[in-house]
């Protein structure tokens, strides 16, 4: 059976069933590992969420490792080949909920720090950890709380490396230097309910919605830029009717979402949607929810340090990407000028039988250690 310090720590964390927002003691175990290294650890609890801010050193630059100890629910336990919270090595892979997203990354970060500090006890700069148990959930009491605390204290993060599973096919082939923003809208168009045999006595909101929805679908919201694909607008739900086939509904509700690039703004997209809907003779209401704004780290010291570490360890020329969903990088980017995400392959995340290949675990740790060496020298 394969074993290493990183693997052993990953297995210990996977065995703690930390489904959002319950940390299940993961962060306390990490505190026990970090404190002997000289980290000053602070736990910030908020509405059932556990957050950890740990820092070693007081000088700049400050490199922070960030991530989440929470995992998504396992689902039907009978669908798993082995229990999701009993880590198991099988056919060259480590199985368990959180193996890829992202307990192995956290274990690799901690062991990387242990090795780096043992080799360079008088290293320049500072190292930090920002961990939460609220990334997979609403994300309202997690990383954003710690970021606000650091901002109030005037504590500056220079570089942040988040352990999200970013690799596509093999370890190191992709890192994220940004993420698209996410904004949802709920558009309600009013009509007049009535008998379907007497349409002149009613007003069908579905018919009213059709031409304006067609125009929204046809819009090119922006052309993207060097790092981002063009902004995407997608409808996710359309709800109308009583369930009867002979009743014209009184309203139709359309849920939609923007995944938008840094080429657009929240205000600009909202204004354009309102301008299109206002062209049509409809009574409507529109409620907006901004789930996250886009962030971008152009090529620079952090992306170069991670890319160099990947090449030194694997021989792979990594690709910068801004694809995928939102992450806590959207909060950290508000207080840190350089944010990069890098972790193991993501093909099994949130799935039954989530796993990471054993052959990637120690190289992942080595890449994190090499990044430390590249930046704090």
Q: Cα torsion for 67, 336, 376, 8, to the nearest 10°? A: 0
Catalytic residue list contains 135: yes
Instruction: Check 11, 115, 134, 135 and give the catalytic one.
Output: 135
Q: Extract the runs of DSSP E, i.e. beta strands, from the chain.
A: 40-46, 49-56, 62-68, 88-90, 93-95, 126-132, 159-162, 174-176, 178-179, 181-190, 194-195, 232-240, 247-248, 251-260, 283-292, 295-296, 319-321, 339-341, 355-357
Task: Quote the CA–CA distance of 300 and 159 in Å, as a whole number.
Answer: 11
Instruction: Check 70, 158, 354, 373 and give the catalytic one.
Output: 70
Q: Which two tokens stand for residue 30?
A: 């990490």
- How would you class 372 by CB atoms within 10 Å of its CB: exposed for 0-12, middle for 13-18, buried for 19 or more? buried
Task: Quote the CA–CA distance of 249 and 220 in Å, as a whole number.
Answer: 31
- Residues forming the active site: 70, 135
């Amino acid at each position: 059976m394969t074993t290493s310090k990183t693997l052993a720590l990953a297995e210990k964390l996977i065995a703690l069933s930390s489904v959002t927002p319950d940390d299940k003691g993961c962060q306390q175990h990490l505190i026990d590992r970090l404190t002997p290294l000289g980290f000053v650890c602070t736990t910030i609890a908020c509405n059932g969420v556990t957050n950890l801010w740990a820092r070693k050193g007081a000088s700049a630059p400050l490199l922070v490792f960030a991530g989440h100890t929470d995992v998504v629910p396992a689902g039907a336990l009978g669908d798993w080949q082995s229990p999701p919270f009993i880590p198991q090595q099988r056919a060259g892979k480590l199985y368990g909920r959180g193996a890829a997203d992202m307990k192995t990354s956290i274990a690799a970060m901690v062991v990387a720090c242990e090795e780096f500090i043992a080799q360079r006890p008088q290293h320049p700069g500072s190292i930090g950890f920002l961990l939460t148990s609220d990334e997979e959930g609403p994300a309202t009491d997690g990383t954003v709380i710690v970021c606000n605390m650091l901002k109030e204290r005037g504590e500056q993060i220079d570089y942040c490396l988040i352990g999200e599973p970013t690799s596509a096919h093999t370890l190191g082939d992709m890192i994220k230097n940004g993420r698209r923003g996410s904004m949802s809208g709920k558009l309600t168009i009013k009509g007049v309910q009535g008998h379907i045999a007497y349409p002149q006595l009613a007003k069908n909101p579905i018919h009213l919605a059709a031409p304006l929805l067609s125009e929204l679908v046809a819009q090119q919201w922006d052309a993207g830029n060097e790092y981002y694909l063009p902004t995407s607008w997608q409808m996710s739900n359309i709800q109308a009717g009583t369930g009867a086939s002979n009743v014209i509904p009184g309203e139709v509700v359309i849920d939609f979402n923007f995944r938008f690039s840094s080429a657009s703004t929240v205000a600009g997209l909202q204004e354009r949607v309102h301008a299109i809907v206002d062209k049509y003779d409809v009574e409507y209401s529109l409620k907006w929810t901004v789930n996250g704004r886009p962030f971008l780290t152009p090529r620079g010291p952090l992306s170069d340090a991670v890319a160099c570490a990947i090449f030194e360890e694997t021989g792979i020329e990594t690709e910068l990407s801004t694809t995928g969903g939102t992450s806590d990088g959207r909060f950290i980017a508000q207080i840190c000028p350089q944010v990069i995400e890098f972790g193991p392959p993501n093909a099994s995340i949130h799935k039954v039988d989530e796993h990471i290949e054993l052959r990637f675990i120690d190289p992942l740790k080595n890449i994190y250690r090499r990044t430390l060496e590249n930046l704090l020298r």
